Structure 1
């Protein structure tokens, strides 16, 4: 992509206003907390302290809007407290410019590095630096600075108290994440009816797992419907795929395929019903049609072998999904099931995953049992460290990024530090006043990747112009006093809370108006703030964009490394699955589960990197867009085949398949070597894998599922080599393209 196209795309992105589901009650709660703090500060300390303390409550409310699975009160308190510390230290050093610049550089560098610990921490730290540049100009003495800092802490506490006293869908994000995972699987089941090898993006399942990782305090109040449904949803996906895939035994057409389509349609209806119930906290409705489909008397006659096992397991899984998702409130108990009948958690599940359904269940079991059934025993939850325990983990992540070569986060920290200090120095030398606008704008728009930095810079400048123009017009029309300015500031903040998810330009317009009214409440005329803010915001945004162009952290050159990481992770996952056919251990396969999670993480990292690379004004270096797409399809196929084999892992005590161990060893070694070859821009070869498969065929009748899966794995590996092979086709004597096959090294090297 050229620079011109990249700039046009980022500009369009920054100015886009999206239609999103608004949360007016949450916005009203945040605005109410801000109003409480401003009113109290005005009554007790006056306009100056009220303006400073308002920033603490304002930022604390923004922290509660971030996509984080932690308790919202903790985020509000952490935001208000960290802003208070930043403001007090900034004021203490503000009288000595060299000392303040040193503090500003250190604080900004640490804020840039904090993105390594996650976007929520990164945004809070970045906002602290930006707001500190404003708030340190408000106090006039050390005692006042301490008072401002104390009121910022109070602002965070007020917002936290409101979240506790007036919860709005307290577990709403967690419910939405789990419901989205079930809905994605319902959509997957419907697509499998028409495309038996349809792809599935595991991102919803990963988000649901992240949401299920909770703090010990959250574990004491988590709704029962969120306890085990996610683990069951994890098990539904491979069973759906194995039931639909022709490689597992069901013909592409015929009565067996029609039966599979019926089961998939019924499964989609059950999953959708469970998703709606979890999202809204209501019982799962009865679905007689789905129950009749899974209870059809001819099920065992039509499906045999692996398809029959998959249908049996799918019926049992769906039954448990409905049972867990539709559990009653505590104290209610069904008369039809005794407490001791609760299922035992599957030992193969990692902590926080649901119990495995009864393997003896037949496909005739109803998929929609009585929703009033007693919930099963809740397994241990996935533990997320508390806020204080997070500090060592965040420090470790930051140290890791510092030691990485060409780390994007470290480059961002260096870049944002240089721009902030430079912007502050330039702005203080200009005859405009309010020099903090330039570095504040730069800090708020800069992100570790190109697209977000440029789109936010455009959105911030455009939003600032709109917000300042509207606020200035209103000030000239109404001439508000202190209390009316405070009310207008609270209104603008409430609008920002309401619209912040619709796009940057709308949010920035509200922020600009909020600051105009807030500083007007403190006694500053609009003529003192509006002109310089527009000019200095443009200066800060221009510095941010220039800095990224001069010291970038492009993702395009790292695509091969991301691809190699995904290949190695997929290889370890597939090898772990195949090895369990040689060493049957039932469903207790923690190594398979860990390898699967690592493969998912690698896939998501690749997808995010590829999406960023497509928006960068950088040419590819050895991995074209078409080659990247073909390689991605091949790796998706490797993961899908491994998932199909995982769905049919043999029970403990089943006859082992010795050749599977040799194939798994060859596959693991070959994919590790292939990952190194991809990083070094070489085409991987798979001779050891082919030889292991040939030796396997010479041993006689192998297990049908694992042998078929091994062949599909080899085919997918060959497709990967074809995608990465850039060798041109043979040329004729006259120099024209023969159009024939390529020489050995591509497909022949498989």
Structure 2
């Protein structure tokens, strides 16, 4: 029943509309690149060369739609070169199975390992495997193979030239990433008005940081407005949290709370205005009433103490945000010069300097328990097995089966199965529609070429709407290419459907036989997040105890590591909820409670960070001792959680007791309150994960029965409500 239930969710996910935002201008430009190379090849040479040109232009164009911060023209050129090289190498080994199959296996394994660099590299690498499988059937000699490889590379060049000549919303993705970060903090401020302890997902800030890393050539042309606001969003987030918190900020009730709500609402308006300005490149327009609210009257201000300190800091930061967004860059910022690049921006290696980075990333994933490594093994096995099986069947175009497998396989279970379902559904619909049009129009290579280009444009338009809908027009595009080549559709169209079904089935079966489940890894991910959070909280307290530039830099580094650990946990947790396996180590309820506890722990550290003292403040030894105890206990607790032992906070409790017994005039009242919140969060974590082995086994069984019962009650065709994670 668990597998049937999971497969039902997979089907719904594969057919779900993911994003409603379309980018028709980008789709039109990319489809124009396909039209140019296909039209020229069809006019000057032959349909066979037009098919090669279509493959190169289509795949290179599709690569430019992937989420990447590198220039799109560079991605198009790299994709075209990779497709051309795989075509040539594949043809040289295609004479016999004894030479081609090992090459195909090695190439597919390398394409799978490309996921260690990122999803864009993995997806583009998978298309080169498809290129190797398709185009080795076209040339008849080495010379012709070189010609076809050149034509394929020309498709990538054509896409790059169009991007260079007709730029559409240059730096648009970077603007969106920065605007999303500001909008996320604005939404956070609004939620804090009603829930002073509301959680914050740092993913938009992480994305904005990733987008801020540029190469030296990009730094010379990057708009100045993309330099400063990300740092402001990072600084504003803890300040609004501190202002809203009833323990160390505004009082829980009364005029002070109403004043805090007014400030939070005004802050959200300013941040939203700055986000719109950055996204659209337009002037900042802040409502006048919000500007009036942000004036702190020294005489009539109702906020006092730390709450007033947070309010004044918030007003100061929001003023900087309006100034940067309105003027295009921070005041007095020097221009970005090639010789000073490293001091001006986060460095992203160029394509030529990326080789050692890729080598290190691949080396880290070359281990048996790595999802990327297991994905690469599955990809190699399925590609070769699918090619052998399809070549033995009484069907032509056997390469469609391994291509279907390669294009749907992903390192995780849910996306692999969802894409397999989506590809089959899209292929059935697209083939049916295109076949009807081909039969109605009759044989005409130029008409079919035009229809192929139209299908490409629609596929690009819907590429972010859902894989099934984009694949529908991709399947139609292939049918029109076959019609352009004069091949009989009575045989090729049914073959395509059956071989797509075979390839998708092999991809799903491969994951069942050799899975990489995230469910057993949840305990390790939780331990990593706990240790990273402990280091971050300890560095915050050390910076509070002795404010120095070195401690501030350590705090920033620890914060980034904590976010990465949280993102890894969240990704594993989301995948585990979609897997058809029993909970191991942690039930879903325990995982959710532990997650909430660690979020509270990180939030307490963030509150202390927002009140960091100036550099000339006296040393606070109690904060230093608590930081050492906190780091030691969380490091040991991470080991205990990983090995299924109950964590212990003895040193943290002793250090906090000593701190509470310190002199009443201790200036670190805010830090001490933050330490109390941290200890409370750690106790909540211990409550969530501390169980005997027998209790854990019984809990896993109860969890399985609880989920099954919930799904039975809610199994009326509506979307099930997931309780407890």
Deviation at 1:587, TM superposition (A): 9.5
Within the candidate set 698, 705, 709, 2:674 is matched to: 709
Pair 1:18–1:576, CA change in 2 (3 A): closer
Could you say which residue in structure 2 is the equivalent of 1:356? none
Unaligned residue ranges in structure 2 (runs of 5+): 696-725
Which residue of 375, 386, 409 corresponds with 2:372? 409
Aligned mates of 1:82, 1:344 — CA distance in 2: 39
Q: Normalization by structure 2: what TM-score?
A: 0.93
Match in the other structure for 1:316: 316
Which residue number corresponds to residue 544 of structure 1? Answer: 507
Note if contact 1:224-1:327 (Cα within 8 Å) is conserved in structure 2. Answer: no
- Which structure 2 residues correspond to residues 267-306 of structure 1 after superposition, within 5 A? 267-297=267-297, 301-306=301-306
Aligned partners of 2:445 and 2:485 also within 8 Å: yes
Which runs of structure 2 are paired with 1:486-565 in the superposition (5 Å)? Answer: 486-565=449-528
Give 1:99 shift.
Answer: 0.5
Q: How far apart are 1:664 and its partner, in Å?
A: 0.6
**Structure-to-structure mapping, 1:428-443, within 5 angstroms:** 428-443=391-406
2:34 and 2:58 in contact (8 A); partners too? yes
Alignment of structure 1 residues 209-358 onto 2, 5 Å? 209-297=209-297, 301-328=301-328, 342=332
- SS in structure 1 of the partner of residue 432 of structure 2: helix
Residue 133 (str. 1) matches residue 133 (str. 2): yes
Do the aligned partners of 1:587 and 1:651 also contact (CA within 8 Å) in 2?
no
* SS of residue paired to 2:535: helix
Deviations 1:580-610 (A, max 9, x none): 2221227971100000000011111111110
For residues 48 and 685 of structure 1, the distance between their equivalents in structure 2, rounded to whole angstroms, comes to: 70
Q: Cα distance, 1:468 vs. partner?
A: 0.9
Question: Number of matched residues?
Answer: 689
Distance 1:89 1:344, change over 3 A: closer
Deviations 1:449-501 (A, max 9, x none): 00001011111111111111111111111013111111111111111000111
Between the aligned partners of 1:121 and 1:90, the Cα distance in structure 2 is: 20
In structure 2, distance between residues paired with 1:389 and 1:728: 50
CA-based RMSD of the aligned residues comes to: 1.9
Shift of 1:286: 4.2
Q: Secondary structure at the match of 2:139?
A: coil
Whole-angstrom distance in 2 between the partners of 1:293 and 1:182: 20
Q: 1:418 deviation in Å? A: 0.7
Q: SS of the counterpart of 2:64? A: helix
The aligned residue for residue 716 of structure 2 is none
Q: 1:300 to 1:391 in 2, by over 3 A?
A: farther
**Separation (CA, whole Å) in 1 of partners of 2:91 and 2:249:** 73
Query: Given that residues 189 and 268 in structure 2 are in contact (C-alpha distance below 8 angstroms), is that contact kept between their aligned partners in structure 1?
Result: yes
SS in 1 for 2:132: helix
Mapped to 1, the partners of 2:412 and 2:92 lie a distance apart of 34
Name the residue aligned to 2:535.
Answer: 572
Alpha-carbon separation, structure 1, partners of 2:115 and 2:129: 14
Q: 1:328/1:569 Cα in 2 relative to 1: closer, same or farther (>3 Å)?
A: closer
- Give the match's secondary structure for 2:344: coil
1:590-739 aligned at under 5 Å gives the runs 590-701=553-664, 702=666, 703-727=668-692
Q: Between 388-397 and 659-668, report the one with greater CA deviation.
A: 388-397
Match of 1:385 in 2: 349
1:289 Cα deviation (Å)? 1.6
SS at match of 1:650: coil
Task: Decide whether the 8 Å contact of 2:34 with 2:453 is kept in 1.
Answer: yes
Aligned counterparts of 1:53 and 1:103: Cα–Cα separation in 2:
24
State the distance in 2 between where 1:325 and 1:32 align. 35
Greater Cα shift, 128-137 or 4-13: 128-137
1:288, distance to aligned residue in structure 2 (A) = 2.2
Contact 2:445 2:484 in 1 (8 A): yes
Contact 1:193 1:244 in 2 (8 A): yes
Contact kept? 2:412, 2:516, Cα under 8 Å: yes
User: Which stretches of structure 1, 4 residues or more, deviate above 6 A after TM superposition?
Assistant: none
Matched, 1:150 2:150: yes
- Match of 2:221, SS state, is coil
Q: Over residues 646-686 of structure 1, what are the superposed CA-to-partner deviations in whole Å (9 max), with x where a residue is unaligned?
A: 11111111011111111111100100000000001111010
| Closer/same/farther in 2, CA of residues 424 and 119 from structure 1, 3 Å limit | same
Displacement after TM superposition at 1:298 (Å): 5.3
- The Cα shift of 1:343 comes to 7.3
TM-score, L = length of structure 1: 0.89
CA separation in 1, counterparts of 2:670 and 2:550?
Answer: 16
> Quick one: distance in 2 between partners of 1:728 and 1:103?
48
Residues 489, 517 of structure 1: 8 Å contact kept? yes
Pairing 1:87-166 to 2, within 5 Å after superposition:
87-166=87-166
Greater fraction of residues in helix: 2
For residues 307-355 of structure 1, the C-alpha deviation after alignment (integer angstroms, 9 at most, x for no partner) is 12211111111111111112259xxxxxxxxx9x73799xxxxx99xxx
TM-aligned CA distance change 1:575 to 1:264, over 3 Å:
same
Structure 1 runs not aligned, ≥5 long: 330-338, 346-350, 353-377, 731-750
CA deviations on 1:228-275 (whole Å, 9 max, x unpaired) are 111111101000001110111421001111111111111011011111
Q: Residue 86 of structure 1 contacts residue 132 of structure 1 at CA under 8 Å; is this kept in 2?
A: yes
